[in-house]
Structure 1
Amino acid sequence: MLRGKTDQMAKKDYYEVLGVPRDAEEREIKKAYKRMAIKFHPDRNPEDVKAEEKFKEVKEAYEILTNAQKRAAYDQYGHKAFQQGGMGGTDGSTDFNDIFGDVFGDIFGGGRRQRSAGGADLRYNMELTLEEAVRGVTKEIRIPTLVLCDTCRGDGTKKGTKPMTCTTCHGAGQVHIRQGFFTVQQSCPHCKGRGQIIKDPCNTCHGNGRIEKQKILSVKIPAGVDTDDRIRLNGEGEAGNKGAPSGDLYVQITVKAHPIFEHQNNNLFCEVPINFAMAALGGEIEVPTLNGRVKLRIPAETQTGKMFRMRGKGVTSIRSNIQGDLLCRVVVETPVKLNDKQKHLLRELEESFSNSSSVNNSPRSKSFLDGVKKFFDDLTH
């Protein structure tokens, strides 16, 4: 009797053991316990009897203070509330697997039972012409995917039978593996995380609950999409297991190269070739747009590379609803396959350019030649 009194007097206050105040919340108690349990765990302190005793003391305090009924009794009666083992849980026995499975379970996967996995998301790569991307289009696509088995409705069992609880994980779908002083939670290798074993599988899906099938979908592509845009179709991915939600289908857009236009953001670019005479004298030329032809006025003395902007002739952005522009880059084309008359006329023109009074006809050429002359003059001096 005297010894029992001595033991009770020697027993430390549970709050002091964990180093928390008496009004500490449960999360604060768990945090303190986790820190001390790691510090005094026997795997970290082999052959250290004091550390093992301290670990048991910490465990005992944790078990009492995280149980609402036991904590209330302890707060009112102290250690006397657990004499004779009445409240239980303070017999000094230690199951390290249970402790770390409880406290650190949330780090390594959490939860005792594995939830049914949702279906996988799918991706479909779709190529569009520039016209389709700009105006919008509806496309029919064919998707290979997994759908619920019609025979067993996703259960995976033969008609009239039911799956059995896995004897390895007892339906939890997960097992605990000891790694050092941690207990790691992973999928049960026997039932593959399902928690159940199918003894009589469905003849159609062979117990999978899903079958492969080609699914045909009509996809509406909005006007103004561009390369790398994605369109999500909710629930059109693979079917989930055991009634879990289906995944999504992502349609990845690529706009094909166009023979005339280049597409950048909501602007269009194109090159417009003009002949020598039009570049010198000016005139009008028809240029294409995605909505038909329009006239572009070319001023006299236009040089190659000159850019003309035709406002509102580009693409309407799907994000901002702003209409882009068409930018036309002029390229002066050198004439080819000239007849004798054309050659004679060009020679006469060339002779007129060589006249000293006509140097202003080709200012860039004169500037270039002057620069070359100065360069060589500098070399010789």
Structure 2
Amino acid sequence: MSQQEWLDRDFYAVLGVPSTASAEEIKKAYRTLARELHPDANPHNTEVEERFKKVSEAYAVLSDPAKRKDYDRVRRLLRSGGFPGTGFPPGTGSGGFDFGDLFGSGSPFTMGDPLGGVGDVLGDLFRRAGTRTASARPRRGSDVETETRLSFREAVAGMVLPLLMTGPMVCTSCHGSGTRPGTRQRTCPHCRGVGVRNRNLGGFGFSEPCEDCRGTGSIVDTPCPDCQGAGIGDRTRTISVRVPPGVSDGQRIRLPAQGEPGLGGAPSGDLYVTVRVEPDPVFARSGDDLTVTVPVSFAELALGTVLSVPNFDGRVSLKIPPGTQSGRTFRLRGRGVPRRGDAVGDLLVTVEVAVPSDLGHEAAEALRAYARAEEMGGFDPRSGWADSR
């Protein structure tokens, strides 16, 4: 329904109720008319069918409190013949005025308007009525979000990840123009490419999206057979996503212009890929540092040894001095997670004594002998441990 039809039609008269009717009275009137005018009760009667449509349209507006409020406000405004409080006299001009310009942001006629933002009311009212708006004008495409999973080692090392995406994309046949290859759009002769047409009503003018070109300003005579003139179609594509080294769990990677395509030649949205990193059975992270816990024997810590520690580059040797305590952490510089630039984190190696669950007879006897020798030597592991408690 056009804006002018909205303004010309009296929905209360269509339902046969006064403008002061309650919601219950409006519902009752509609139900009575709907039973009387329903197409099933009046087969092949186009006149009754048309009236039934008008009754349904009127009820759709008056049964909705928000729509009815806006509809009543516009009717009061037009019946007044002018705009109270603005100094704008009734009937001025010959029809060159546009509500969007007259009551838009910054207009002097918005000040002191007792109806409270007429431009907004009209805009909301016509949008709710289902009229075509400027949705066909150029508009940036929506952003798209997805997730991908990487192993711990892939996230640390970085990689190029092939990502399979299915969704709306610019038509590859017409490249988004909507026209058959080899043809072009032509300028709409009714709106002259503006996408908007003006209608006059007394002393006022109303701007509406052009019905012929649907507000685009252009007409497609020979639509693209692949996308039926939409310029957009669903397809599956593979995108190469470069995952930088050292990416962390939950980090988002932005791929510009890889989201949904824009309308009317506008740019596409962006694609955001959230990375989920699976835990590793050996390594963990602490910021840019890699952490690993290496199980060792008591003898290795007491006597000292050289450990072969796993690393993403292979293995690295770590010297353990005699008398090292269980739980001590050693730092190996430059063996951790790559940072931005050429910097690299460290590898933190923690040694931890592993106690055997079953020593065996010979090992148990040897350990008992060691314990006796340790006691004779005066070693007490709990000496001074609880003296301050």
TM-score (structure 2 length as normaliser): 0.57
Q: 1:265 aligns with which of 282, 287, 311?
A: 287
In the alignment, which of 160, 164, 167 is matched to residue 138 of structure 1?
Answer: 160
Structure-2 separation of matches of 1:286 and 1:315: 19
Percent of aligned pairs with the same amino acid = 31
1:349 match: 370
Any idea what the Cα deviations from partners look like across 1:314-336, whole Å, max 9, x if unmatched? Answer: 12202x54221111111111123
Q: In 2, distance between residues paired with 1:157 and 1:226?
A: 45
Tell me the equivalent position of 1:222.
244
Count, aligned residues: 283
Corresponding position of 1:239: 261
Kindly state the Cα deviation for residue 152 of structure 1 after the two structures are TM-superposed: 4.6
CA distance in 1: counterparts of 2:267 and 2:197, whole angstroms: 21
The aligned residue for residue 360 of structure 1 is 379
The superposition leaves residues 273-318 of structure 1 with CA deviations (integer Å, 9 ceiling, x where unpaired) of 1101112222221111211211212222322221111111112202
Cα RMSD (Å) of the superposition? 4.6
User: What letter matches 2:255 in structure 1?
Assistant: L
Worse-matched range after superposition: 200-209 or 332-341: 200-209
> CA separation of 1:290/1:158 partners in 2, compared to 1, >3 Å: closer, same or farther?
closer
In 1: Cα distance, 2:148 partner to 2:83 partner: 66
Residue in 2 aligned with 1:288? 310
Amino acid at match of 2:271: L
CA contact (8 A) 2:185 2:218 kept: no
Q: Could you tell me how far 1:346 is from its partner in structure 2?
A: 1.4
**Residue ranges of structure 1 left out of the alignment (5+ in a row):** 1-42, 61-89, 176-184, 375-381
Q: 1:335 to 1:291 in 2, by over 3 A?
A: same
CA apart distance, 1:98:
3.9
Name the SS for the 2:85 alignment partner.
helix
Do structure 1's residue 330 and structure 2's residue 351 form an aligned pair?
A: yes
Show structure 2 runs of 5+ residues with no match. 1-72, 107-118, 124-132, 199-206
Judged with a 3 Å threshold, the aligned counterparts in structure 2 of structure 1 residues 285 and 172 are, in CA distance, closer, same or farther, namely same
Among 253, 268, 272, the residue aligned to 1:250? 272
Q: CA deviation at 1:265?
A: 2.2
Question: Cα gap change, 1:148/1:316 in structure 2, threshold over 3 Å: closer, same or farther?
Answer: closer
- Of the candidates 339, 346, 355, which is equivalent to residue 360 of structure 2? 339
Secondary structure in 2 aligned to 1:243? Answer: coil
| Alpha-carbon offset, residue 338 of structure 1 | 1.6
Aligned-pair distance for 1:211? Answer: 0.8
* 2:156/2:245 contact within 8 Å kept: yes
1:142-182, Cα deviation, whole Å (9 max, x unpaired): 211322224554344678796996999x975799xxxxxxx
Query: SS of the counterpart of 2:258?
Result: coil
Secondary structure, counterpart of 2:344 in structure 1: coil
